[in-house]
Each structure stands twice: as structure tokens, then as C-alpha cells.
Amino acid sequence: MENQQSNGNNKKDLSPAEEQKIRQAFKEKDWNEIKSNDSWSLFKIMGEFVAGFERLASIGPCVTIFGSARTKPDNKYYKMTEEIASSLVEQGYGIISGGGPGIMEAANKGAKKAGGKSVGLNIILPHEQSHNIYIDPDKLISFDYFFVRKVMFVRYSQGFIGMPGGFGTLDEIFEAITLIQTQKIGKFPIVLVGREFWSGIVDWLHEVVFKIENNVSEDDFDLFHIVDNAQEAVDIIDDFYGKFLLSPNFEF
């Protein structure tokens, strides 16, 4: 019981709003209530897809930069993100971010400073996040649903750069890797920036997930690159596309 309390699993650790969500999940609903709630959710989801498709259909080749909302402007990765975004814009790419502060802000700021397309796919959260000021006004889209937002990242990106981040960043990076691994999208470049940040999880994947559990293949480690500076990240993206035509990459 002591361990359960220390891990935050005790009922006392839940806020009234969190407890209500859990109770609501177990509440029995009649058919009319189910139909009404689900139909309304379906229309909201469809609306977000339509808005995303309409606003992003003609943005041209873009690279998405993922990373933490908590990274401060004096952090080395914030500054590196600005540099990467500006350099990619100078090479002819637009920049897509999650639209919020931190690394996302740095990505949009770098794109804006270099005079390129600066796209923000913002997510509406209870206590985070407001969009940053460096997004082109006509290229800001806000989403309620994470999964709709992730489809937009993948559909309209020709490459992915993962800066240090938390659960959300890991979710987004592994989504892209999974779609490439399962051949749902083409083998587009994925670059992880910051060896000191990413090496731990990559070592675990190799030593435990691959060698011990055999849950991935050795070739899967070729699906991404780890670099330590902005120029290396830009070079990987640009070298890859020096050989191919740029086009939206997600197929339904």
C-alpha cells in the first residue's frame, strides 16, 4: 500500500476532475446517449481532418521538428533548433512544428527569420499550450485530437527532426518510425539531434528490445540517424532529397 501511494496511484492523488473522468468511463449509458455523444465526436473529428487538409494541401515540401514545450530560449537545443529551421528554409523547405512554446517556438522562429513557411499544428490542452507568435497566421491550425494532429504531421512532412523532449516528442518520433517500419509511408529521413539525449533509449532498444526480446530487426536501426549539430541534421535531410522528388507522403 505504501508503494502504491508513493507512485501516485492512490485515489487521494486524483483531482475531482480526474476522478470524474474515471467514473464517467464506467458509467452505463443508454443507446440514445451513446449515439448522441459518438455522433457529435465523429463530426468534430471529421471537421478537424477537413480543416487540416484544406489548410495544408498546398504548403509544399516541409520538414517537421518535434521537441519539448518546456525548453527555454537559453537552452542549447533551442538555439540549435532555430539554426536547423533557418538552414532548412534556406534549402527550400518549409517548417512544421507542434505550434507551442519551447522547441516548437524555436522551430517556427528560425523559419520566420529566414523568410520561409512557418506552420504550427497546435493542440488544445487544459493547462498547456498556447501557440507561439512565429507561425504564419494562415498556417496555424488548432486541434482537439492528438491522433488527427499526428496524421497532419505525417501527411505533409518530407522529413522529421527529433529534438530532446518528453512523452509527446517520443510518441511523435516513434509514430513516424513505426509508419516507416511497417511501410505505411516511404522511408523518409528521421534525424535525432543530441546524442547525449537519445543514446540511452537507443542503447536500450538495441540491447533489450532487439538482442534480448528480438522485438525489432537490426535493419530497423537504419530508419533514423543520430547527430550532434545543426549542420549534420540539415545535411542528412538535404542529401536524401537531392536524389528524389518532393511530394506529400501519406497514403490512405
- Whole-prediction pTM value? 0.84
Which stretches of the chain drop beneath a pLDDT of 70?
Answer: 1-12, 21, 23-36, 127-129, 244-252
Closest CA to 152 of 183, 191, 116, 123: 123
How far is residue 36's CA from residue 184's CA, in Å, rounded to a whole number? 33
- Residue 10: what pLDDT? 53
In sign, the C-alpha dihedral spanning 113, 115, 116, 118 is positive
Sign of the torsion formed by the C-alpha atoms of 226, 232, 237 and 239: negative
Report the length, in residues, of the chain. Answer: 252
Q: Residue 32's Cα: distance from chain center in Å?
A: 36
Mean pLDDT of the chain: 88
Alpha helices in the chain (DSSP H): 2-6, 16-26, 31-56, 76-90, 103-113, 146-155, 167-181, 195-204, 230-241
Under CATH, which number does the domain 44-241 receive? 3.40.50.450
* Closest-CA residue to 195 (of 170, 162, 152, 166): 162
CB 153 within 8 Å of CB 62? no
Rounded Cα distance, 98 and 5, in Å: 34
Cβ-contact 146, 176 below 8 angstroms? no
Q: How many helices (H) and strands (E) does the chain have?
A: 9, 7
- One DSSP character per residue, 76-89 reads HHHHHHHHHHHHHH
Q: List the grid coordinates of 182.
A: 511497417
Task: Report CA 24 to chain centroid distance, whole Å.
Answer: 29
Q: Looking up cell 532498444, which residue turns up?
A: 205
Condensed to tens digits (0 to 9), the pLDDT of residues 140-162 reads 999 999 999 999 999 999 999 99
Cβ–Cβ < 8 Å for 106, 118: no
Q: Please report the sign of the dihedral spanned by the C-alpha atoms of residue 194, residue 166, residue 98, residue 70.
A: negative
Which residues on neighbouring strands pair with residue 38, listed in sequence order?
none
Cell readout for 147 is: 491522433
Whole-number pLDDT of residue 27: 65
Place of cell 473529428: 45
Residues 6+ apart with CB under 8 A from 137: none
**Pairing mode of beta strands 94-97, 118-123:** parallel
Domain layout of the chain by residue ranges: 44-241
C-alpha cell at 179: 509508419
Tell me, what's the pLDDT at 250?
A: 42
